[in-house]
């Protein structure tokens, strides 16, 4: 089994909870020295929807995942911090994502120093 997918909650406690769930559900995985969890693409739907999703649901009862180009990360992080929007960070397949409550509307935020690239460079993935 090739472990080509990876995920890590930046919050160590959340990440440990995910590792416990993976072991309990007997999902093949490995954890590297940085705490990044590696698992098979064959398990991606189960790991993402059921296991990661259950932890996300414990953090925020109704949630969404905000992804953005790398050059927007600081802008989003600063905006959420300045506006006291709760969020936690995740690293999925090497990309930083933000988990935040569903009630917020990132597409409507006025971010400082807009990059040259289009505002269509992010996806808000509601769930929960």
User: What value does the mean pLDDT take over residues 13-18?
Assistant: 98
Contacting residues for 100 by C-beta, under 8 A, at least 6 apart: 60, 63, 64, 66, 80, 85, 86, 87, 88, 106
pLDDT value at 15 more than 90 = yes
Q: What is the pTM of this model?
A: 0.84
* Residue range 73-92, pLDDT digits in tens: 999 999 999 999 999 999 99
Are 55 and 77 in a shared domain?
A: no
Same domain (yes/no): 73, 123: yes
- Asked if 69 and 84 sit in the same domain, the reply is yes
Q: Domain ends where: 33, 59, 85?
A: 59
Q: Evaluate whether 99 touches 65 at the Cβ level (below 8 Å).
A: yes
Task: Over range 9-35, report the average pLDDT.
Answer: 98
Q: Which helix (H) or strand (E) holds 12?
A: helix 12-24
Do 75 and 48 fall within a single domain?
no
Number of structural domains in the chain:
2
CATH number assigned to the domain comprising residue 102: 3.30.70
pLDDT-derived band at 69 (thresholds 50, 70, 90) equals: very high
**With contact defined as beta carbons under 8 Å apart, do 67 and 99 qualify?**
no
**Res 127: pLDDT:** 54
115 and 97 in a common domain = yes
Give me the percent of the chain exceeding a pLDDT of 90: 82
Give the percent of the chain with pLDDT over 70: 86
Domain endpoint, select from 13, 30, 59? 59
Asked if the model's pLDDT at residue 3 lies above 50, the reply is yes
Q: 47 and 67 share a domain?
A: no
Q: Does one domain contain both 110 and 93?
A: yes
Residue 21: which domain range? 5-59
């Amino acid at each position: 089994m090739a472990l080509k997918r990876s995920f890590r909650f930046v919050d160590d406690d959340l990440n440990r909870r995910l590792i416990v769930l993976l072991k309990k559900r007997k999902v093949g995985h490995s954890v590297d020295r940085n705490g990044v969890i590696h698992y098979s693409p064959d398990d991606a739907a189960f790991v993402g929807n059921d296991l990661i999703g259950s932890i996300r649901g414990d953090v925020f009862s109704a949630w969404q995942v905000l992804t953005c180009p790398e050059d927007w990360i600081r802008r989003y992080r600063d905006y959420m911090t300045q506006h006291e929007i709760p969020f936690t960070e995740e690293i999925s397949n090497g990309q930083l994502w933000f988990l935040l409550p569903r009630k917020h509307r990132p597409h409507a935020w006025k971010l400082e120093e807009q990059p040259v690239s289009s505002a269509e460079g992010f996806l808000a993935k509601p769930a929960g």
